[in-house]
Amino acid sequence: MAWRKSIALSIVLLSLPVVGVIYYINLQAKSKAADAHLWEKSQQFHVSKKLMTVADEPLAKLGRAFFSETAFSQNGQISCASCHNPEAQFADGLKLGLALGQVKRNTPSIVNSAQLRWLFWDGRSDSLESQALEPIETILEHGITRAHVINVIVDKYQSVWERTFGAISPVILRGVPLPPALPRPIKIEVSKIALSRVMASMSDSDLLLRYSDASSSSGLPIEAVIAESLQVKSYYPESWYQAYEAMDPKSRQEMDRMFIQFGMAIAAFERRIVAVDSPFDRFLAGWKKGGSVEEAAINGFGDDEVEGLRLFTGKANCTFCHSGPFFSDGEFHNIGLAGVPGQLELGRARGVPLVTNGSFRCQVIGVLRPELLTSETCQMLKYLDPDNLDILGAFKTPGLRNVELTGPYFHDGRAASLDEVIDHYNLLTAKAAIGHQEEILVPLNLTDKEKKQLIAFLNSLTYPVEVMLSSDP
């Protein structure tokens, strides 16, 4: 019987290499399929040249001067660059923005902001042009009125302004310096359905106490007190609003027009601030269809980054929201961040009524620059639904290019590091402050190694910022 055993043994031994080869081929095929799958999923991240085209060089240069002009502020010390510091990714590295006072949101980097469909964490502005006007008239930021802006333009920039926009109207020049004047804040109508949902989900006893106290002292129902607290406050002296209302319509229209043009110049500058050639981009450019990931790896994008990319587009499902060339779907999501005692943040549910009623929404910009008015932008406003409960507590998906350098993170800067951000997605232990956390989010249970790989991938999106504008004035 011994010979039978040895024959069987020889057969087994002889077939081992064959099994091995088959196993190897199978593995190869599997990894090839995985690579092809990853290749498909990664194509969305290519930045096309078309996305990056910019026009209006003289306008952008004027905007660059305005961006760092401190005369456009109440104390003569604040400019856009105070908070959007060119040396710090056009952000400030602080938890919460600080100008004349501290604001309640984290300052986003405005690198690649030409790509933003909605502006601000709650999307309350719909163009870069109109966004630029808001901090000017906000009491905690620049703290001045549009009349003040016009005075500074006439005083310091008249000739370059007139070269760019044509002669300043005599109705303006006659009145300069204009007295402080600005329109009253608009009344916003927060959805009743959203408010009743806020009441139902209000777990923060601090907050409930605050509003019920105010409710009993004013005799108003608690919903009305909350709705009132969400209004844009009129912080300025009543006489400034009255001055605006008392202006003759022609001068008022001209003043508003110049103010919008001021925003257009700043936006033209912002559109040229980019960072799009990271190690990841170079890796992606070199990775040809059908090729293996390993072969495509380059300096700065190796094994850890590749595994991080796999997680980002696969198991961790980050691309559900952080999609496209700038790693954002441009939309709003409730990612289940816990409430902060005493703070009520409705997110997009407040942003929607603000953007649909805002005085500088796309139609007004379109009066000056019809080419900026695509049917898509105005359609977007038409289809916003204030009663959609998914927008309660939802904030804009931030882009992730240069994210390594733009901490602290989240709308209120609550996460000091990317580790903390990943821990949030990994554990999802908090109860959403308001509304409900999006169902697509489930605890990821990533290992420490996987967390490191995911962060390695995020860090591979870093590239020095470029301002595409020659340095001469």
The site for ligand HEC (CB under 6 A) is made up of 78, 80, 82-84, 97-99, 103, 105, 107-108, 110, 113, 116, 119-121, 128, 131-132, 135-136, 141-142, 266, 270, 316-318, 320-322, 333, 335, 337, 395, 397-398, 400, 403, 406, 409-411, 418, 421, 425, 438, 440-441, 454
Question: Of the candidates 86, 89, 70, 87, which has an alpha carbon nearest to the alpha carbon of residue 78?
Answer: 70
Backbone angles phi, psi at 4, to 5 degrees: -60, -45
How far is it, in rounded angstroms, from Cα 307 to Cα 289? 18
Least spacing, CB of residue 86 vs ligand HEC, in Å: 12
Q: Give one DSSP letter per residue of 253-300, joined into a string.
A: HHHHHHHHHHHHHHHHHHTTEE----HHHHHHHH--TT--HHHH-BTT
Place of tokens 């020095």: 464
Question: Of the candidates 168, 132, 369, 366, which has an alpha carbon nearest to the alpha carbon of residue 267?
Answer: 132
Between 255 and 418, CB nearer to ligand HEC? 418
Least spacing, CB of residue 221 vs ligand HEC, in Å: 28
Between 310 and 411, CB nearer to ligand HEC? 411
For the chain, percent helix, then strand, then coil, each to nearest 5? 50, 5, 45
How far is it, in rounded angstroms, from Cα 207 to Cα 175? 47
Q: What is the CA radius of gyration of the chain?
A: 27
Between 32 and 37, CB nearer to ligand HEC? 37
Least spacing, CB of residue 308 vs ligand HEC, in Å: 9
Between 66 and 175, CB nearer to ligand HEC? 66
Least spacing, CB of residue 450 vs ligand HEC, in Å: 10
Least spacing, CB of residue 289 vs ligand HEC, in Å: 26
The single-letter code of the amino acid at 275 is A
Between 164 and 328, CB nearer to ligand HEC? 328
Least spacing, CB of residue 186 vs ligand HEC, in Å: 16
Instruction: Work out whether strand 332-333 and strand 466-467 pair parallel, antiparallel, or are unpaired.
Output: unpaired
Between 222 and 326, CB nearer to ligand HEC? 326
Least spacing, CB of residue 94 vs ligand HEC, in Å: 9
Between 421 and 434, CB nearer to ligand HEC? 421
Displacement of CA 444 from its chain's centroid (Å): 24
Instruction: Work out whether strand 466-467 and strand 273-274 pair parallel, antiparallel, or are unpaired.
Output: antiparallel
Between 100 and 202, CB nearer to ligand HEC? 100
Between 35 and 122, CB nearer to ligand HEC? 122
Between 391 and 421, CB nearer to ligand HEC? 421
C-alpha pair distances (Å), 359 with each of 35, 125, 221: 50, 10, 30
Least spacing, CB of residue 90 vs ligand HEC, in Å: 8
Between 178 and 321, CB nearer to ligand HEC? 321
392, burial (CB in 10 Å: exposed 0-12, middle 13-18, buried 19+): buried
Least spacing, CB of residue 152 vs ligand HEC, in Å: 13
Least spacing, CB of residue 156 vs ligand HEC, in Å: 16
Backbone angles phi, psi at 35, to 5 degrees: -65, -40
**Of all helices (H) and strands (E), which one includes residue 333?**
strand 332-333
> Using an 8 Å Cβ cutoff, are 444 and 316 in contact?
yes
Cα dihedral 416, 467, 257, 116 sign: negative
C-alpha pair distances (Å), 182 with each of 189, 235, 244, 364: 21, 11, 5, 17
Least spacing, CB of residue 107 vs ligand HEC, in Å: 4
| DSSP secondary structure letter of residue 396 | E
- Buried b / exposed e over 95-133, threshold 16 CB at 10 Å, is bebbbbeebebbbbbbbbbbbbebbbbbbbbbbbbbbbb
